[in-house]
Amino acid sequence: MRHTVLAAVLVLALLAGVGCTGRASADPESLGYTLPTRIVVEAGGFLPGSTIQYLGESERGAHVLIDGQEAVKRAGDSLDWRGEPVEGAAVALALRVVSHNADELQLVGTADVEVQDPAPRPAPLVETSPITYNGLVGYGVAAGDQVPGSTMVYRGPADEGAEFGGIEGYPYRRAGDSLVWEGVLREGVYILLELRLVQYDEENVRLAGTVRLWFGE
């Protein structure tokens, strides 16, 4: 069982290293993520958080309204958007049309999310928002530093395992153990980190897992 868990962690770490992953911004005043996303827009509805509306379809393709102008999109066509669904959180969507019918438009692509002046604090999640993105993340955190997007701090190795501050309860984890944190990055931006410890030593710790972001109430 232990070998199975460790193998799963290593696979997850590999995916986090080569796929669309969360990333800690080089700017200490912002936190950035690049996440894969799939969005379904019902006929008459809007791309969540944007002014792009799906009007329906015809023989020509999917009809969408972009900045007040009607456009016809076919499977494989691009549909991009940039904006701030909540203040201080910029989102850039790079999407492609997968399919469309009279009822809905299906899109896949990536969401680049940049949260300005993050101040992570533990708090209950608000999961009712229609604006949500999730994907893989991988972090290398130096001893004494925080795990990006959380209050968790890697304190270094101990006899009981890797020691973390900024979490409730037992502070130690060994390779393969889970590390979960949920809270608020700034007003209206909620985050859930579900990580596994990949490797640790006196200098740093490596973590891999998933992040989920919600915007608004």
Region 57-86: mean pLDDT is 94
pLDDT digits (tens, 9 = 90+) for 33-57: 999 999 999 999 999 888 899 999 9
Q: Which residue has the higher pLDDT, 49 or 160?
A: 160
27 — pLDDT class (breaks 50, 70, 90) = low
216 — pLDDT class (breaks 50, 70, 90) = confident
Q: DSSP secondary-structure letter at 168? A: S
Region 124-148: mean pLDDT is 91
Pick from 150, 125, 124, 153: nearest CA to 141: 153
Report the chain's mean pLDDT, rounded to a whole number: 88
Pick from 143, 119, 137: nearest CA to 180: 137
- Give alpha helix (H) positions in the chain: 2-18
Region 85-110: mean pLDDT is 95
CB 62 within 8 A of CB 73: yes
24 — pLDDT class (breaks 50, 70, 90) = very low
Residue 5 has pLDDT above 60, yes or no: no
Q: Residue 122's pLDDT is what?
A: 95
Classify residue 15 as exposed, middle or buried by CB count within 10 Å of its CB (0-12, 13-18, 19+): middle
Q: Please report, as a single letter, which amino acid is at residue 30.
A: S
Residue 126 has pLDDT above 80, yes or no: yes
The per-residue b/e assignment along 30-40, b for 16 or more CB within 10 angstroms, e otherwise, is bbbbbbebebe
Could you tell me what percent of the chain has a pLDDT over 70? 87
Region 162-183: mean pLDDT is 96
List the chain domain ranges.
2-26+118-215, 34-116
**Among all chains, which residue has been given the structure tokens 């393969």?**
176
